[in-house]
Chain A
Amino acid sequence: MKEPLSQKVKNWVNERTGLVKFVTDFLHEEIPGGTRFSYTLGSACMFLLSIQIITGIWQLFYYVPTVDYAYSSLNYLRLQVPFGWLVHGLHYWGGTAFTIVVGLHVMRVFIWGSYKKPRELVWFFGIGLIVMTALFMFTGPVLPWDKKGYWAGQVGIGIAGSVPVVGPFTQLILQGASKMGQSALMRIYVMHVALIPFLTGLLVTLHLIAFRQFGEAGPWEEKKRKTVGYFWPEQIFKDVLVAFLLFLLLVFLSAFFPPEFSGLADPMDTLYTPKPEWNFLFLYQILKFLPGPLEPLGTAGIPLVIILLMASLPFTDRTEDRNPFKRGFVILGGFVFVAAVLYFTWLGYIYKSEAERANTTTAVEFKSNVNSVFVNPNNEIMLANSKKDVTGEQLFKTLGCTECHTANGSVSNKQGPDLVMARGNNRSHQWMLDQINAPQSHNKKTIMPPYLHLTHRNVELLVAYLEGLTPKEVPMPVAPAPVVTGGAPTDSKVLIEYGEQLFNTQGCTQCHTIQGRPNNKQGPDLIMAVVKRKPSKEWLHEQLMTPQAHNPLTIMPSYANRLKDPQMDAVVEFLSSLLTRKPSAAPAMDSSDQEKQTGSVSGLGEAVNIIGDREHGSVLFHQSCIMCHGPNGNNKTPGFVAPKGVPALNPINSTVYNANASTFVQRIDVYLQHGIPNTVAGGPNMPSFGDTHALTQAQIADLEAYVLSLNGVDRTRIINPGIEPKEFFLYLLELSLVVVVLSLLYWWIIKLIKF
């Protein structure tokens, strides 16, 4: 009889590889004590590792490891590539599941005492794999280059650097430069996708070879080991079933709990509180209990001790008996260890930093209680009033003053004046008290809220603090020789130059421009003002000495104490010279103008291409925008008086709104980037946040995502899902149910038929 072709091929391959024996040995392996679901943990690790490898490679089709495109390429993958959400979600949740399943696997081996002779090597390679898992979990989250990942990398590398002796070298190798940036991302990327996977593959192979030598250890009771089960099909069926259930779980998590979008990495953003992934939380929490000098002990010592303890187990727990009830001391130690890790993880999970607590209260309170825009200050005020030993400085820092004011004597881009610089106005004590209790009594147009509910004592404390502020020495430009020696202005050109230097360095530019064009600043453009008013030198002098003499409501500070006479003269001379100065040329053509020329939308910032984080945007909004736009952008909130001409954002004007997130973002981006003068006289202008770099592009993107969310548009909506995530999960669930029902039916039928 002729052999069928398939048999021929099988024989041909087998003669050259011995494959048939290998496979039969593998399939017909006996399992002492019978098959069990608890033995599926190892194969579940293998399954999850395979998922990680496939989804990892699949993500490489789109992801690029550069700091400028990492975040946007990943978001393109997640939102615009069909099933990108699934590939990324499986990888994200797969990593989490892998850590947990590896942990369970280790615990089972530990309780069963399966690390004992002759299986020590299996155990050692396993420990190596735990280290690899930790390295994967450290390097992976950095790659999206979002806020969470950036800080995880920054802190992780810092920890590596704090290890005694080898630390600084390790840090340099990991970082590849003096600070976190492109080099660090590239190195972490290579480690995550090449180096660690290679080592993991090696260790998995060794782990399995060592395991095959002696197979399953089976139950610890001699008697129970007598009965045997078989790998194929009984154990494999259990393995496949567990793998499939895990897959269902991962799809469910990817569909219903997608990884968050924490916004583009932004080292400038101090409002973001970095916190490690859950799997490093216990270490993070333990570090809080260690005083500074002992920190390396925690960062390097604790993981090292854990590894050494585990590695020493086969040598310290030497009895032949694997029964956990007869290894009380070891088992107790293990349970204490696991309990401690879980406890510290929990502590780390619920821990919130000062800043984070402040931010969440802000967000939560504004969400839950929108009765008044000043809800938050008032609650803070109640708190401040109840405190006995509070200082003026603490009040200043906690009552929200710093949202609009700085107090360091230098120019800022906040809404209100720097309060050290404002000291130049020499306001009376009573004026200061009134300004806090009823700012509108000094300036009807002010956007400063009245701090009505502050106790008299606290207002006094605050004023005392403000009065105690001493102007910082601002370096003065050196006066040109003739002015200093002769005293007489021999050369007006020299004097004008000196005046201009003073103008540029002494804070004038905070409120004024000298461009000959309208601006978005608090004060007028001085070329326009001088041309319009043609002031005398005496008038200019008086404006600098006592600005309130010309306008009682002006917020311009007096320069009487700041400028000496010759300097004052120089500034006056400079200002007079503006009458003949030509307006500066309009800003040079830049790339955005070029875009205008090529017909695309003009003046857009980088922010439109960044998927922002609306949660963080909400925090930023309640810091920078709430005073004009109201809580949650709703200017009809009871108790909130919207400044004149400020548009509502919730809901936003229908000509700005668009259901398409990327169109909507483009429409509001222009305002955030460049600002816009108020069309209503006396209303506050929308300041420019992008051009002035008052906010980074990452922050603007977060704010935009928040404003979109106020209007029911999701910045992170999946544009091209393939199949909608939730539907996909349901299809999968239905298919699985069909398989279950059909097989039960089939089983019932063959049970009935006797043959």
Chain B
Amino acid sequence: MTNHTSTPRSQDPEDIKKRNFIKGLTGGVLGLLTLSITWPFVSYLIPTTAGGREERFIKVPNFPDMPLGVPTKMNFQDLEEQAFLKMSTVYDIWVIKHSPTEATVYSPLCPHLNCRYSWDAKQFACPCHGSNFNLAGKCTAGPSPRPLDSLPYKIEGGELFVQWKQFKAGIPDKVEA
């Protein structure tokens, strides 16, 4: 190894003072360097919500042919955008058509813990924890803290357009996730 510490360092107070000053300054510069790298590099990893997704109504195919009064599971496709990718995603919804101009649209997710429920000819029944809902979406049995979540929709020219939304599960209030 190197011939280290063979010559003792100067113990002159002036020299020690100088040495300590340099040590402090080195630490200071190093700290500044670390800070100016760490801060932006951590911000880099924090996802931005700026802009947000535009809210738009998507056409649900086959609405004019739907039977009246029967809850029916319908699918529609929307573009989902994340980072640099745009992907088409298929969503499902429950639609009850009351008339050619009126309908009820429910999110397919149980408000309890986001399981997908089904229609058993009498009521909506969630297989996970036994929550039941009537046609109006009201919880008639089980642990669900709130009624089924309805989705915003509009009917134009006989066609149904729906806006996809997801809500926080497990709480009494309908809050967008």
Interface residues in chain A, defined as those with a beta carbon under 8 Å from any beta carbon in chain B: 24-25, 28-30, 54, 58, 61-62, 69, 72-73, 75-76, 80-84, 86-87, 212-215, 228, 230, 232-234, 236-237, 240-241, 243-244, 247, 251, 594-595, 597-600, 609, 720, 722-723, 728, 732, 735-736, 739, 743, 746-747, 750, 755
Contacts and interface: CB of A to CB of B under 8 A. Distances in A.
A720 B44 contact: no
B23 A233 contact: yes
Contacts of B171: none
B6 interface: yes
A380 B21 CA distance: 69
26 contacts: A25-B1, A28-B4, A30-B4, A54-B37, A61-B44, A61-B45, A69-B84, A80-B48, A81-B44, A81-B48, A82-B43, A82-B46, A83-B43, A84-B44, A230-B9, A233-B22, A240-B29, A251-B36, A594-B88, A597-B59, A599-B56, A599-B58, A720-B50, A722-B44, A736-B32, A746-B24
A215 B6 CA distance: 15
Contacts of B26: 233, 236-237, 240
B95 to A, nearest CB: 17
B86 to A, nearest CB: 8
Interface in B3-24: 3-7, 9, 13, 17, 19, 21-24
Given A241-B29, A599-B59, A30 B3 contact: yes
Please provide the 10 A-B residue pairs with the shortest distance between their CB atoms, ordered closest to farther.
Answer: A83-B40, A76-B84, A215-B2, A233-B23, A237-B26, A233-B22, A72-B84, A73-B84, A82-B43, A83-B44
Interface residues of B, number: 46
Given A240-B26, A732-B36, A750-B17, A599 B57 contact: yes
Contacts of A739: 28-29, 32
Contacts of A76: 83-84
A252 to B, nearest CB: 13
Interface string B82-99: 011110100000000000
A735 B57 CA distance: 50
A154 to B, nearest CB: 24
B82 to A, nearest CB: 10
B41 A54 contact: yes
Contact of B7 (A30, A75, A600): A30
Interface in B129-177: 161
Given A30-B5, A69-B85, 18 more contacts: A25-B4, A28-B5, A29-B4, A62-B83, A76-B84, A80-B48, A82-B46, A233-B19, A233-B26, A237-B22, A598-B77, A599-B56, A599-B161, A600-B56, A739-B29, A743-B21, A743-B28, A750-B21
B30 interface: yes
Contacts of A54: 37, 41
Contact of A75 (B9, B50, B84): B84
Contact of B44 (A25, A58, A732, A746): A58
A657 B25 CA distance: 54
Contacts of B1: 25, 212-213
A600 B59 CA distance: 11
Contacts of A232: 23
Contacts of B7: 30, 228
B79 interface: yes
A747 B37 CA distance: 27
Nearest to B86: A609
A30 B8 CA distance: 11
Nearest to A64: B84
Interface string B70-87: 000000111100011110
B121 interface: no
A26 to B, nearest CB: 9
Scoring B17, B26, B56 by chain A CB atoms within 10 A of each residue's CB, the highest score goes to B26
Contacts of A81: 44, 48
A275 B18 CA distance: 52
A232 B22 CA distance: 9
Contacts of B88: 594, 598
Contacts of B77: 594, 598
Contacts of A213: 1
B79 A598 contact: yes
Given A29-B4, A30-B7, A747 B21 contact: yes
B90 to A, nearest CB: 11
A743 B56 contact: no
Contacts of B40: 82-83, 86-87, 722-723, 728
Contacts of A600: 56, 79
A646 B7 CA distance: 86
A30 B84 contact: no
A244 B32 contact: yes
A609 B25 CA distance: 48
A61 B29 CA distance: 29
A739 B31 CA distance: 11
A69 B48 CA distance: 21
B47 to A, nearest CB: 9
Scoring A24, A82, A212, A743 by chain B CB atoms within 10 A of each residue's CB, the highest score goes to A82
Contacts of A61: 44-45
Contacts of A609: 86
Contacts of A241: 29
Contact of A598 (B9, B29, B58): B58
B41 A87 contact: yes
Contacts of A73: 83-84
Interface in B97-112: none
A230 B9 CA distance: 9
A30 B43 contact: no
A739 B44 CA distance: 26
Contacts of A86: 40, 44
Contacts of B48: 80-82, 720
B56 A234 contact: no
Contacts of B21: 743, 746-747, 750
Contacts of A736: 32
Contacts of A234: 19, 22
Nearest to B23: A233
Contacts of A244: 29, 32-33
B54 to A, nearest CB: 9
Contacts of A750: 17, 21
A271 B48 CA distance: 39
Contact of A247 (B4, B17, B22, B36): B36
Nearest to A722: B43
A234 B19 CA distance: 8
B11 to A, nearest CB: 14
Contacts of B161: 599
Scoring B7, B22, B44, B58 by chain A CB atoms within 10 A of each residue's CB, the highest score goes to B44
A746 B24 CA distance: 11
Nearest to A73: B84
Scoring B36, B56, B58, B79 by chain A CB atoms within 10 A of each residue's CB, the highest score goes to B36
Nearest to B78: A598
Contacts of A599: 56-59, 78, 161
Contacts of A30: 2-7
A735 B36 contact: yes
Contacts of B59: 597-599
A240 B43 CA distance: 25
A594 B88 CA distance: 10
A101 to B, nearest CB: 17
A236 B4 CA distance: 16
B170 to A, nearest CB: 31
